[in-house]
Amino acid sequence: MTSFYLESLGCAKNLVDSEAFAAILLRAGLEASETPEEADLVLVNTCSFLVDSLRELDEVLAELAFLKQDGCIEKLVVTGCVMNRGLEEFRGLYPEVDAWIGLKDFAALERWLGLESIGKYPRQPIQSGFHRYLRISDGCSNNCSYCAIPSIRGKMCSVPLEDLVREAEELARIEDSPPLELVLIAQDTANYGMDLYGRQALPELLERLQAIPQYQWIRVMYMHPDHFDPAWLPLWKRLPKLLPYFEIPVQHSEDHILRAMNRRRGRADLEYLFGSILERVPDAVLRTTLISGFPGETRTDALALKSFVAHIPFLHLGVFNYSPEEGTPAAKLTGQVPPTTAERRREKLLSLQNSRATKMLEKYVGQTVSVLVEEESGGEDEDLYSGRVWFQAPEVDGLTFVHGKDLVPGRIYQVEITDVIDVDLFGEALQA
């Protein structure tokens, strides 16, 4: 074998594991291929968080099994969350798989490849762009009633602060595409450190990361509303690299739904929290996610949730239909909402949000903002580039398209915004 292709399914938190697997494959002397058809070995790092994730995995493995039967692939390896949810079913369906590697069992892949274990697993970035993800904890101990994560990835396990600083420094030194942005991720970043230190250590971590010179932007994702402390807000004023981008996934607004989800803060608490952020950090941008059709959600609850969204200026908002996951307490609740009803309510929320987000973005027309240019647009216009304003998180928010002469991807430019289309911005670079 001389080459490999790595298929990383699921979210950015899974991507971190994929990058550790990629580093092992490179150490084994294999070169990365751009497509599975060009590779001798294909490794699939799976997600099994939702039923839809398992359906996607089935589609991916069916295609790869066909390629292996056709002689295009020599070896097929599967790892990731499916090892703790759905393994027996998929093992029976896909005898073409040569090895099933345990979740995060990097040493097992080393043994399978005939490598000596090094005991420490650096990461080889496999995503495009000039950002790096830093997973500050794995697993979750919140036990939200709808979520299968604790049964798949275990209780929250924070990475020691010193190890995180060292990992961030190593990621910053990668030469081929040196990052300008560090994105902190976890199932619950706000509760980082509670299991290790008996206290929330996110502020200490941010202080340390601020000192790494290569990063110009630091972004924190997945801050659980029950654990976000408004006393931290001065950090977003004092640390110049820390972006005032607040992703706080509330999932719903109504008290009885939140209690059924096993969440502590109710609607009044959430309204106070977001009000405090906007009052104390005037340039703050808000992002959240919601679940439509949770068991027990009535038409009145859906209208109340819509009203909640209308009154809090979320620039970015995602809505997901409730999915009854096997083994979760919510799957046994009475009052299950028909999927068609959940989807109809979801569409109404998104329709409200999309029109409002465009209007909110229009205020930037005529303003000059900092844009991280990431690549040429690839169209007929040679002077058009794509990138992100500081309030656009990688992979989940819109893009900014910039006209400019000889711009260099991987640099931050001052850009005058000239137009808005849906959630994308357009502008002119003021300097090359």
Specify whether the backbone of 104 is left (phi greater than 0), alpha (psi in -120 to 50) or beta. left
Q: Is the pLDDT of residue 160 over 70?
A: yes
8 A C-beta contact, residue 284 and residue 323: no
Q: What is the DSSP string of 402-429?
A: EE-SS--TTEEEEEEEEEEETTEEEEEE
Q: Is the pLDDT of residue 406 over 90?
A: no
- pLDDT tens track for 43-97: 999 988 888 888 898 999 999 999 998 888 999 999 999 888 888 888 889 999 9
8 A C-beta contact, residue 230 and residue 248: no
Choose among 113, 52, 51: nearest CA to 79. Answer: 113
Cα three-residue angle 373-5-87, rounded to 5 degrees = 115
Q: What is the DSSP string of 15-47?
A: HHHHHHHHHHHHHTTPEE-SSGGG-SEEEEEE-
- pLDDT tens track for 255-268: 999 999 999 999 99
CATH 3.40.50.12160 fits 368-429, yes or no: no
Q: Determine the average pLDDT of the residues in 305-322.
A: 95
- H or E stretch including 369? strand 368-376
- pLDDT tens track for 46-60: 988 888 888 898 999
- Distance between CA 39 and CA 282 in Å, rounded? 50
**Residue 48's pLDDT is what?**
84
SS3 302: helix
Tell me the two tokens of residue 338: 């028909």
**Exposed/middle/buried for 402, CB within 10 Å: 0-12, 13-18, 19+?**
buried
CB half-sphere exposure, 242, CA atoms < 13 A: 23
Query: What percent of the chain clears pLDDT 70, i.e. is strictly above it?
Result: 98
Q: Determine the average pLDDT of the residues in 395-424.
A: 91
Architecture (CATH level 2) of domain 131-362 = Alpha-Beta Horseshoe (3.80)
Intrachain domains 3-113 and 368-429 with the same fold: no
- pLDDT tens track for 289-304: 999 999 999 999 999 9
Query: What percent of the chain clears pLDDT 90, i.e. is strictly above it?
Result: 74
Spans of all domains in the chain: 3-113, 131-362, 368-429
- Distance between CA 255 and CA 236 in Å, rounded? 29
**Residue 432's pLDDT is what?**
53
3-113 CATH fold: Rossmann fold (3.40.50)
- Distance between CA 344 and CA 325 in Å, rounded? 21
Average pLDDT over the chain, rounded to whole? 92
Q: Is the pLDDT of residue 328 over 70?
A: yes
- Distance between CA 256 and CA 304 in Å, rounded? 12
pLDDT band, residue 377 (cuts 50/70/90): confident
